[in-house]
Amino acid sequence: MPRGLGKRCLWLWGLLLWLGMGSSGDAPPTHQPKCTDFQNASFLRGTNLKVQFLLFTRSDPSCGQLLKESSNLGNSGVNVSLGTKLLIHGFRALGTKPSWIDRLIRTLLHATDANVIAVDWVYGSTGVYFSAVENVVKVGLEISRFLHKLLALGMQESSIHIIGVSLGAHVGGMVGHFYNGQLGRITGLDPAGPEYTRASLEERLDAGDALFVEAIHTDTDNLGIRIPVGHVDYFVNGGQDQPGCPTFIHAGLVEQSGVKIEPLPTEVRAYLLTTPRAPYCVHHSLVEFHLKEARNKDTNIKVTFLSSNFTSSVKITIPKQQLQGKGILAHPYPPCQINQVKLKFQASKWALRKDRTTIVGKFCAAPLPLNDSKKMVCLPEPVNLQASIAVFHDLKTACV
């Protein structure tokens, strides 16, 4: 992987030269097939980039239109009044098209009317991983030159959203670095870890590469980077093995737009849960237990939501000499479908005989995110719990 300021300066000078060359004029458009797909490359031929830019629009989300830099991009179908989402795949060991790309394109176009441009750098990303890493700066320059021509048509830097997967996340960071962090947004999906965990900020994705940078981590115990790389970093299910997925294959995740945080934080780590089956989304509820009197030891309470279709549980721990414990309970259906809550005060595993300790407190729950319209719902009466004995209470939450 290229290291050092001298090498980086060479690439920056190369970018300036390329951008200057790109402004000299456009060649006349040439006839080309209506739809173009990703290339397939043998892993023995992974040295040349052969980058392709494929435009997808709402009018035909399954048809990729090849955008050639030498042609008149003004007549290419790109709508400069819309936002632009640039998809950048990562390392392709066998030189094949990413299996997830078509579905992600359709999902994005279903969610928003935008120019979705897939960057095909399969040739440069195949073969040996370290060779693909060597090509990150090169493909970053190719993309930067391409964006320069789009910006010349009137597209705004702030309207550009780069979505990079694995090694593609660092390619996106490189592009953002070339544009001095003025692109609108970069989303890194499982940014690659090998060769990047200890890399400098100039060599990897970081919060300075766009006006807003986020990353979703689902594979930090394998190929994904373990450190925060954005303004907000989401660590799904702790950021490691995902439920329902093989432990030896890293996930990718579907991104939805709409995050707006002002002022931008320097670093936020967010943790969330998923189900083991599609669509993987869950509802999250904050659950709390308030002791009437503090105890001289930790208090563990198992909270279980019950309905006709599911059960979900979480353990609340109230530290000794404290009165309150909290937990996050994930459930596949909305809170209004929860019929009962089961509470069980867990006895100490070191007890030599049956523990008859009783605690008294108040149980409350609230759907997340918590705001003025979603307030805590508490059981109307104090709860008496004896060690190892489960207690059931009705839990009624209105549907919204």
**Looking at residues 199-223, what average pLDDT do you find?**
91
- What pLDDT is recorded for position 16? 47
Q: Is the dihedral of CA 227, 230, 231, 233 positive or negative?
A: negative
Burial of 296 (0-12, 13-18, 19+ CB in 10 A): exposed
15: buried, middle or exposed (CB in 10 Å: 19+, 13-18, 0-12)? middle
Query: What one-letter code names the amino acid at 2?
Result: P
- Residue 257, pLDDT score: 40
Residue 368 has what pLDDT?
80
pLDDT tens by residue, 350-364: 665 777 889 999 999
Query: d(Cα 114, Cα 354) in Å, to the nearest integer?
Result: 64
**In the numeric block, which tokens belong to residue 117?**
């441009």
Among 30-44, 132-146, 296-310, the range with the most confident prediction by mean pLDDT is: 132-146
Q: Which of 178, 177, 87, 167 is nearest to 125 (CA)?
A: 167
Residues 285, 254 contacting (CB under 8 angstroms):
no
Whether residue 10 has pLDDT greater than 50: no
Of 325, 329, 335, 332, whose CA–CA distance to 313 is shortest? Answer: 329
Q: What percent of the chain has pLDDT over 70?
A: 80
Segment 108-167, tens digit of pLDDT: 999 999 999 999 999 999 888 998 999 999 999 999 999 999 999 999 999 999 999 999
What pLDDT score does 225 carry? 93
Q: 360: which 2 tokens?
A: 């008294």
pLDDT > 90: what percent of the chain?
A: 52
In this structure, what token pair is assigned to residue 23? 């402004």
> In sequence order, what are the residues at sequence separation of 6 or more whose Cβ sits closer than 8 angstroms to the Cβ of residue 187?
161, 162, 163, 164, 214, 215, 216, 255
For residue 267, what pLDDT is reported? 67
- Preceding peptide of 369 cis, ω within 30°: yes
Confidence of residue 392 (pLDDT cuts 50, 70, 90): very high
Beta strands 185-189 and 160-165 are parallel
Is 70 exceeded by the pLDDT of residue 237?
Answer: yes
Which of 325, 283, 319 lies closest to 303, judged by CA? 325
**Of the listed ranges 28-37, 199-208, 235-244, 269-278, the one predicted with least confidence:** 28-37
Same fold, 5-272 and 283-394: no
Backbone angles phi, psi at 371, to 5 degrees: -145, -170
Q: What is the mean pLDDT of the chain?
A: 82
Per-residue model confidence (pLDDT) at position 264: 65
User: How do the domains of the chain map onto residue ranges?
Assistant: 5-272, 283-394
What's the whole-number mean pLDDT along residues 5-31?
44
Mean pLDDT of the region 188-199: 93
Say what angle helices 136-152 and 167-178 make with each other, to 10 degrees: 50
CB 384 within 8 A of CB 340: no
Size (the chain), residues: 400
What's the predicted TM-score (pTM) here? Answer: 0.66
Q: Is domain 5-272 given the CATH code 3.40.50.1820 in the classification?
A: yes
Q: Does the pLDDT value for residue 384 go beyond 70? A: yes
* Order of strands, sheet of 340-346, starting from the edge strand that comes earlier in the sequence: 311-318, 299-306, 340-346, 390-394
Query: What does CATH list as the number for 283-394?
Result: 2.60.60.20
